[in-house]
Amino acid sequence: MDNEQNPSKNVVAKQPPNASTISLLILGPIIGFILGWNVAPKSIITQTEEQQIPITTTASQQMPVFMQNEVAYAEDEGNIILHYNGKFYKENPNPVQSYNQDETLNINPDKLTWTKVVAKNGKVEDVYNELFDFKLLPSKKSFLFIMRWPEKDDKDASIYHFYVYQYTLNGPGSARLLKHFTTPSESNIVPIISSISSDEQYVSLNMFGCWNCGGHHPSTAIMRLSDGTTKDIGLTSYFKWKDNGSYEYKKSVTLPCSNPEGCYAEQYQEPELLPLEIGAF
């Protein structure tokens, strides 16, 4: 047929390998191994030190950057921790005292996730620039805290400012300012968080005329958390929240000084001897 090809005309017969070629193929790798030749394929290359992938530090391993005069919070094993100007704080359990140096915490901040709460803009005097009080609400989904931010007037006299804030965990934005107390507009301007109602709608504050000055009894202010409205109900020796903004309390009664040489501080009737009264916001 016209299309048939003669294989004998197109194929070159293969010659069988001679003895020298066979010896080279067998002995070559063995000789190379003995002499230390590198006969590894080019596709299998061991990484040099310069080719090693560098180990990078993750965000959780980096030290957090805390800004001056900025409050931040973090959660640590179910506890809420606040940071302010190099100090760390847990909830203050005392309704008549602010924090002191011994009550701050020593923790490792880079192991926690920090969230900005609020920051003070402008100049703040260094003395008494501090987180003054801090308490969680019963549900632990929100907390109240008080900042003391002092400043100087044009005559270089100190003016003390106390700011009461509320912050909702995982909520939008910064803390919400509820009340600002300052001198000399009010007689009792130093607030300490006393008690929070079980429905988380109200808080009572112990209001002092000055701080660490001694010799006086605080008045009681009650605040509605929805709008920061505050009422002063005067000096009390006992106070307890009831339901729907109602409360029970006992008024403080001052006693005459019984010391012939004079009394350093005012004396008050024991609460057990006073009548119980009911009030409502």
Residue 228 has pLDDT above 60, yes or no: yes
Residue 213 has pLDDT above 70, yes or no: yes
pLDDT at 197: 97
Average pLDDT over all residues of the chain: 78
Residue 59 has pLDDT above 50, yes or no: no
Contact 281, 222 (CB under 8 A): yes
pLDDT at 170: 79
pLDDT band at 65 (very low <50, low <70, confident <90, very high): confident
pLDDT band at 185 (very low <50, low <70, confident <90, very high): low
Percent over 70 (pLDDT), the chain: 74
Q: Which residue has the higher pLDDT, 98 or 29?
A: 98
pLDDT at 277: 96
Q: Which long-range contacts (CB under 8 A, 24 or more apart) does 246-255 make?
A: 246/278, 246/279, 246/280, 246/281, 247/204, 247/222, 247/278, 247/279, 247/280, 247/281, 248/276, 248/277, 248/278, 248/279, 249/220, 249/276, 249/277, 249/279, 250/274, 250/275, 250/276, 250/277, 251/277, 252/217
pLDDT at 274: 92
Residue 255 has pLDDT above 70, yes or no: yes
What are the tens digits of pLDDT across the range 121-166? 888 877 889 999 999 999 999 999 999 998 888 887 788 899 999 9
Q: Which residue has the higher pLDDT, 221 or 44?
A: 221
Round to whole Å and give the CA distance between 195 and 135: 9
Residue 63 has pLDDT above 80, yes or no: no
Closest to 207 measured CA to CA, from 174, 182, 232, 183: 232
Percent over 90 (pLDDT), the chain: 44
Residue 46 has pLDDT above 50, yes or no: no
Q: Which residue has the higher pLDDT, 32 or 217?
A: 217
Round to whole Å and give the CA distance between 191 and 194: 9
pLDDT at 101: 54
- How far CA 59 is from CA of 65, 78, 80, 113, 183, in Å, comes to 12, 22, 21, 10, 43
pLDDT at 239: 96
As a residue count, the chain comes to 281
Domain definitions of the chain by residue range: 60-185
pLDDT at 56: 30
Q: Which two tokens stand for residue 3?
A: 């299309």
Round to whole Å and give the CA distance between 192 and 162: 10
Q: Which residue has the higher pLDDT, 117 or 24?
A: 117
What are the tens digits of pLDDT across the range 89-120? 988 877 777 776 555 677 888 889 999 999 99
pLDDT at 131: 94
pLDDT band at 20 (very low <50, low <70, confident <90, very high): low
pLDDT band at 217 (very low <50, low <70, confident <90, very high): confident
Closest to 137 measured CA to CA, from 169, 174, 182: 169
Closest to 139 measured CA to CA, from 171, 115, 104, 109: 171
